[in-house]
């Protein structure tokens, strides 16, 4: 590693490589990640390349010297995606943060991995365009590609994999490949683009992404309605989806989450401490008005106790702000106690099973005595649980709650993760969800691209059997 440090310095310059302890720790985990960082899970150094050629040169050295590599862009992921389980180096893409080319007429844009989706949308808005995937604040394109993320807009616009046209990728041996040209569709060979989307840095390092963009809707609005129970709210979602109302997003926040938002005082409005649906509408002014009317009627039939919609741009921002403050408001409940931590996890099920799984999960969290809220992109059957727990005394309890939630989802023909990705935390659920043979096929794919297991090793699929007692019984 020390000999390699000299090689890395020659490639990126001394100012772009660090071995400072605080830097190493911040590049291996975060306070909102559900993976508890092990003491040794830190890289030897952090290297910051400036372009694809430098990434390729770094990987050639790592391949030759058999040095493990973990990629890092925004660091907002939740399932232990960038824990340096094998030490090695962290490739931090923060210097590669440029929008390289906007092709407004073709509705696509070429970006580097450390471009944030919020900044990208600010730039695209100048051309009346936008990029729909909207995960948590601070997420960057490299990580969004890695986890195959989505967000609140997925119900209307689909997930990250639907918006990536092409990728430039540096493979484990330093080879640079481009997966596609820029057309909207292609039948030329294997679909390597989608293979890398969701691969969590285990197959290659993404250094450029060509993304589809779309025209901003003429008009958008937001409506919020409260219910007496989570099941009534979930039934309303089922009715709205079943009626084919072309809304942009449907989000659910349970009574615990609404109370946390009120307690944290992060929004200008005080909300009912009741299960609440947040709807986003997009289209022409007349179509949005019609959609709001349809949803209001269906909500009333499902037993809604209130219904309000935005009458101005400011009201729209105020109403939607509560949805965006969900995680931070729960974390605020544990403020001032260094032993408190947050476990944010997600599952997805066929939409007809959504009321069942939300109700059962909520009931189990309440019985556990832990503070846990339900937040979900329920239009496509995906929901999150945000659980606050004491790291020293309640980690096993929180882990068991998440285990049961995932088990429940898989038994309902659902998935262990709708959008967060697998990382370290969810990898042992894949054999139950997909079967051992499918996971073995994934492992062969990993070893075909990365035979020395240098790239984010241990994530998604295990390359070594688990130790006794490491995996909770199914």
Determine the pLDDT at residue 470.
84
Q: Does 36 have pLDDT greater than 80?
A: no
How would residue 335 be classed by pLDDT, with cut points 50, 70 and 90? Answer: confident
How would residue 328 be classed by pLDDT, with cut points 50, 70 and 90? Answer: confident
- Cβ contact 319:270 at 8 Å: no
Q: Over the stretch 79-125, which tens digit does the pLDDT of each residue have?
A: 999 999 999 999 999 999 999 999 999 999 999 999 999 999 999 99
Determine the pLDDT at residue 337.
84
Q: Does 251 have pLDDT greater than 80?
A: yes
Determine the pLDDT at residue 331.
87
Q: What is the pLDDT averaged over residues 442-455?
A: 97
Question: Considering only CA atoms, which of 238, 31, 255, 215 is closest in space to residue 124?
Answer: 215
Q: Does 39 have pLDDT greater than 90?
A: no
265: exposed, middle or buried (C-beta count within 10 Å: 0-12, 13-18, 19+)? exposed
Determine the pLDDT at residue 266.
80
Which of the pair, 65 or 378, is modelled with greater confidence? 65
Per the DSSP assignment, residues forming a β-bridge with 89 are: 45, 69
CA distance 33 to 194: 25
Q: Mapping DSSP to helix (H, G, I), strand (E, B) and coil, where does residue 341 land?
A: strand
Determine the pLDDT at residue 90.
97
Q: Does 469 have pLDDT greater than 90?
A: no
CA distance 388 to 89: 32
CA distance 205 to 211: 17
Q: Does 306 have pLDDT greater than 80?
A: yes
Full set of structural domains in the chain with CATH: 99-215 (3.30.465.10), 221-425 (3.40.462.10)
Q: Over the stretch 405-447, which tens digit does the pLDDT of each residue have?
A: 999 999 999 999 999 999 999 999 999 999 999 999 999 999 9
Q: Does 37 have pLDDT greater than 80?
A: no
Q: Over the stretch 186-228, which tens digit does the pLDDT of each residue have?
A: 999 999 999 999 999 999 999 999 999 999 999 999 999 999 9
CA distance 175 to 4: 19
Q: Does 383 have pLDDT greater than 80?
A: yes
CA distance 75 to 138: 8
Q: 119-128 b/e with 16+ CB inside 10 Å = b?
A: ebbeebeeee
Determine the pLDDT at residue 238.
86
How would residue 234 be classed by pLDDT, with cut points 50, 70 and 90? Answer: confident
10: exposed, middle or buried (C-beta count within 10 Å: 0-12, 13-18, 19+)? exposed
Q: Measured between alpha carbons, how far is residue 54 from residues 5, 8, 10, 332, 436 in Å?
A: 14, 9, 10, 41, 38
Determine the pLDDT at residue 388.
94
């Amino acid at each position: 590693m020390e000999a390699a440090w000299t090689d890395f310095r020659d490639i990126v310059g001394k100012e772009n490589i660090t071995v400072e302890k605080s830097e190493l720790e911040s590049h291996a985990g975060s306070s909102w990640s559900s993976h508890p960082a092990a003491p040794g899970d830190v890289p030897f150094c952090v290297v910051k390349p400036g372009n694809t050629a430098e990434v390729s040169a770094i990987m050639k050295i790592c391949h030759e010297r058999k040095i493990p590599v973990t990629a890092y862009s925004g660091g907002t992921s939740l399932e232990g995606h960038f824990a340096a389980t094998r030490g090695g180096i962290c490739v931090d893409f923060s210097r590669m943060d440029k929008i390289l080319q906007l092709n407004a007429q073709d509705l696509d844009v070429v970006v580097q991995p450390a471009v944030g989706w919020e900044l990208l949308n600010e730039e695209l808005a100048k051309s009346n365009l936008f990029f729909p995937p909207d995960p948590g604040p601070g997420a960057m394109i490299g990580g969004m590609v890695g986890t195959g993320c989505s967000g609140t807009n997925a119900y209307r616009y689909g997930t990250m994999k639907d918006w990536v046209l092409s990728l430039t990728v540096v493979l484990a041996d330093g080879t640079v490949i481009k997966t596609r040209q820029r057309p909207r569709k292609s039948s030329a060979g294997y679909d390597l683009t989608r293979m890398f989307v969701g691969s969590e840095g285990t197959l290659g390092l993404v250094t450029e992404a060509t993304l589809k963009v779309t025209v901003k809707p003429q008009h958008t609005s937001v409506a919020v309605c409260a219910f007496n129970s989570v099941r009534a709210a979930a039934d309303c979602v089922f009715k709205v989806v079943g009626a084919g109302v072309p809304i942009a997003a449907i989000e659910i926040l349970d009574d615990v989450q609404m109370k946390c938002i009120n307690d944290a005082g992060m929004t200008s409005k005080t909300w009912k401490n009741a299960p609440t649906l947040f709807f986003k509408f997009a289209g022409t002014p007349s179509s949005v008005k019609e959609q709001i009317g349809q949803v209001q009627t269906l909500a009333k039939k499902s037993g809604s106790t209130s219904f309000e919609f935005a009458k101005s741009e400011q009201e729209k921002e105020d109403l939607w702000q509560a949805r965006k403050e969900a995680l931070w408001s729960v974390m605020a409940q544990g403020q001032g106690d260094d032993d408190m931590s947050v476990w944010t996890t997600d599952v997805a099920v066929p939409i007809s099973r959504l009321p069942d799984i939300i109700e059962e999960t909520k009931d189990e969290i309440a019985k556990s005595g832990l503070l846990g809220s339900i937040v979900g992109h329920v239009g496509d059957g995906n929901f999150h649980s945000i659980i606050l727990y004491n790291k020293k005394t309640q980690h096993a309890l929180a882990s068991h709650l998440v285990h049961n939630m995932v088990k429940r989802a898989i038994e309902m023909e659902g998935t262990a993760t709708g959008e967060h990705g697998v990382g370290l935390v969810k990898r042992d659920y894949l054999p139950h969800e997909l079967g051992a043979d499918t996971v073995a096929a994934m492992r062969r794919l990993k070893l075909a691209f990365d035979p020395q297991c240098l790239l984010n090793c241990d994530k998604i699929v295990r390359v070594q059997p688990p130790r006794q007692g490491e995996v909770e019984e199914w």
